[in-house]
Amino acid sequence: MPEDTENSEKKRTRSALRLWAGASQRAVSLGLACQILAMAGWIAIAWGIGHSVAAIAAGQPAGPGLPVAAAGVLVRGISGWLGDLLLARAGQTMVNAARAEIFETLSKAGAGWLGGADAGTRTAQIIDRTAKLEGYAARWLPGMRLAVTGPVIILIAVATQSWLSAVLLLVSVMVLPVFIWLTASETAARAKAQQAALDDLSGAFQSRAAQSGLIRAFRGIRRETASLEDAALQLRDRTMAILRVAFLSTAVLEFFASVSIALVAVYIGFKLLGVFPFGTGETLTLAEGLTALILAPEFFSPIRKLSSLHHDRADAAAAASMLSDWLAHRSDFPVTKRPPLESAPVITFDQTALGWGDGKTAVSDLTFKALPGKVTTLAGPSGSGKSTALLALIGRARLTGGEIRVDAHTLQPGESLADSIAYIGQTPWLMEGTIRENIAIARPDAGPDEIKDAARQAGILDFADEGRGGLEQDLARFGAGLSGGQRQRIALARALLRNAPILLLDEPTAHLDPDAEEDFLRKLKDLATDRTLLVASHSDTLIAASDEVIWLQPQLMPEDSGC
Ligand SMILES: Nc1ncnc2c1ncn2[C@@H]1O[C@H](COP(=O)(O)OP(=O)(O)OP(=O)(O)O)[C@@H](O)[C@H]1O
């Protein structure tokens, strides 16, 4: 990846993390305060145990040591519990902030991104990815701050008992930042690779599961199973790569921490026995030595914890990088809706050029007028841009040249007439539920008679007869069990119920038999009444029945154009 792109991606990731974590700052700070209090509890425990053991060893009563230690246990227990609670909330707040922003941005971007057949997959990806942000606010942010403040507090407490033990701890901790930085950079790259492998596997699995019948029919089960196995093996390798770094980093950290604690223990032991060979100028009592010794492991505890939290940071960074990339991609192409039109408009394409944001031209130099009350049909070979021209009116395809006018208004790039349009695509989308519910979705406030009337006009009552439950008949998921023509009729009923001034039909007769097509063509003129009707079609009979036909040509590919 070029350095500039990499830097701007890193910057975008960091600012996304900062923005989403902002919502949880209060809970993070309170949670951190509780963790520091828990650490103070540990200091009280160490002091209490050290002093009471020393007093008992000297043949005296335990004194204030025991109640101080008991108070320390209480403080540590309560503040630890409260801290966990607050930090769990901080994590959830960050996830919610990210989800809210993503869904808001994407919904503003129009139906394009979250619509269509893979809407479920994408929504699941957003939910999974944002869930990975939880550890950033709940564990990484407080863990990082505690790794700085915690050791300083413990170091001061140790220094009040034995300054030389504090110096030993300080020297041994100096090597750790370099090591932690090395681990962090390794983990981040590998976490990103692992998430990409996870995406590949889930994408491959979902597409194979959806097409399992087709795969079986083409005897491709073994081949597809092997490709899924490959994707799973890749995920396993990348997960193992992460685990290797994790195990190695933990082992090295534990080694340094153990050596350092051992040094402190050896020094305190020799000093208390009076056999320490060098003059340090420090006099050490049993109570001070024990307190310092009990505190020493706690000095490394936040740093140890931080090293195990790198995965939270790396997972969150990888998730934020992908999410912010999606958002940036979307905001390149914002869609704004025009208010609903009062009546059917004259739509003019004037030397219009359209594309899909991939640099290629899907339609160029398209000029025509669609008049209210007339059937205007875009015809031409597959790939010539008929659907693209229709989708430009709802802001899906990009306007890259010329103009589209709606009456006197010139549409700006990304401007959508969705609120004035009823659109029937090539593969109408149906949801689980009754036929009535599937029609009513076009206008949820429509009355039963209006729905029935739309169903009758669209010819639904022919197949949804009363004997089979009529409009209350349940449809399976995605309308499984209906023919293409039956789906098309439900979509038509929706369009009729919506009664929008512009009606866009993409290949409306593609799934109809000749009788049904003839029947549909008879309705076509009615559909055009008081509407601007724009149709995309290959059908010769539909073309012949149209008032106006505009022929589109496929765009030349760059390699075709050079002779
Ligand atoms: N969602 C999309 N993203 C990117 N490119 C697209 C998209 N939809 C269509 N295209 C491209 O735009 C060009 C025109 O496609 P379009 O579907 O508009 O043609 P069409 O004439 O409607 O074809 P058909 O008759 O097969 O439906 C094609 O090169 C196609 O690959």
Domain ranges of the chain: 12-106+117-331, 347-551
pLDDT at residue 427, rounded to an integer? 77
Point out the least confidently predicted range of 139-148, 353-362, 536-545: 353-362
pLDDT for 202? 79
At 49 the pLDDT is 94
pLDDT digits (tens, 9 = 90+) for 275-298: 777 766 778 889 999 999 999 999
Write the DSSP assignment of 260-288 as a string of letters.
HHHHHHHHHHHHHHT--SS--S----HHH
For 264, residues 6+ apart whose C-beta sits below 8 A from its C-beta are 165, 168, 169, 292, 293, 296
- pLDDT confidence band for 563 (50 / 70 / 90): very low
Query: Quick one: pLDDT at residue 562?
Result: 38
Q: What is the pLDDT of residue 559?
A: 42
- What pLDDT score does 560 carry? 42
User: Looking at residue 284, what is its pLDDT?
Assistant: 81
Q: Whose CA is nearest to atom 25 of ligand 1?
A: 382
Beta bridge partners of 348: 369, 405
pLDDT level of residue 329 (50, 70, 90 thresholds):
low
By alpha-carbon position, which residue is closest to atom 6 of ligand 1? 356
Dihedral (Cα; 518, 520, 525, 529), 10-degree rounding: 170
Nearest CA to ligand 1 atom 2: 356
**CA distances, 166 to each of 293, 334, 439 (Å):** 10, 58, 75
CA of 378 to the centre of ligand 1 (A): 13
- Which ipTM score applies to this complex? 0.97
Binning pLDDT at 50, 70 and 90, where does residue 274 land?
confident
Task: State the pLDDT confidence band at 6, using cuts at 50, 70 and 90.
Answer: low
How far, in Å, is the centroid of ligand 1 from the Cα of 428?
Answer: 17
Q: How far is the CA of 385 from the centre of ligand 1 (A)?
A: 6
Tell me if 387 CB under 6 Å of ligand 1. yes
Q: Which of 204 and 357 is assigned the larger pLDDT?
A: 204
| pLDDT at residue 121 in the model | 65
Confirm or reject: Cβ of 388 under 6 Å from ligand 1.
yes
Q: Is the CB of 364 under 6 A from ligand 1?
A: no
Confidence tier at 193 by pLDDT (50, 70, 90): confident
Mean pLDDT, rounded, for 35-44 = 95
Task: Look over the chain and give the mean of its residue pLDDT values, rounded to a whole number.
Answer: 84
Mean pLDDT of 452-480: 76
Distance 363 CA to ligand 1 centre (A): 9
Substitution site in 377, 386, 391 for ligand 1 pocket (most atoms within 8 Å of beta carbon): 386
**Confidence tier at 386 by pLDDT (50, 70, 90):** very high
**336 compared with 27, residue with greater pLDDT:** 27
Indicate whether residue 333 lines ligand 1 (CB < 6 A).
Answer: no
CATH architecture of 347-551: 3-Layer(aba) Sandwich (3.40)
Nearest-atom index, ligand 1, CA of 396:
1
The yes-or-no verdict on residue 74 having pLDDT over 80 is yes
**pLDDT for position 561:** 40
Residue 139, pLDDT > 60, answer: yes
Question: What's the rounded mean pLDDT across residues 156-182?
Answer: 83
Dihedral angle computed from the Cα positions of residues 3, 5, 10 and 12, in that order, rounded to the nearest 10 degrees: 160
Cα of 356 from ligand 1 centre, angstroms = 9
pLDDT at 112 exceeding the cut of 80: no
Q: How confident is the model at residue 93 (pLDDT cuts 50, 70, 90)?
A: very high
Nearest CA to ligand 1 atom 18: 385
Across residues 424-442, what is the average pLDDT? 84
The response to whether residue 557 sits with its C-beta less than 6 Å from ligand 1 reads: no
Rounded to the nearest angstrom, the distance between the alpha carbon of 355 and the centre of ligand 1 is: 9
pLDDT classification of 152: cutoffs 50, 70, 90: very high
| Top-confidence residue, 464 or 334 | 464
Residue nearest to atom 16 of ligand 1 (CA): 385
In CATH, 12-106+117-331 is 1.20.1560.10: yes
**What's the confidence (pLDDT) of residue 31?**
96
Residue 407 binned pLDDT confidence (cut-offs 50, 70, 90): very high
Q: CA 128, 132, 135 angle in degrees (round to 5)?
A: 155
498 lines ligand 1 (CB under 6 A): no
At 2, give phi and psi (nearest 5°). Answer: -60, 150
C-beta 398 within 6 A of ligand 1: no
- Residue of 366, 378, 388, 391 with the most ligand 1 atoms within 8 Å of its CB, for mutation: 388
Who contacts 465 (Cβ-Cβ below 8 Å, separation ≥6)? none
* pLDDT at site 146: 94
Quick check: CB of 386 below 6 Å from ligand 1? yes
Window from 86-90, 114-118, 242-246 with minimum mean pLDDT: 114-118
Decide if pLDDT at 554 tops 70.
Answer: yes
Report d(CA 132, CA 129) in Å as an integer: 5
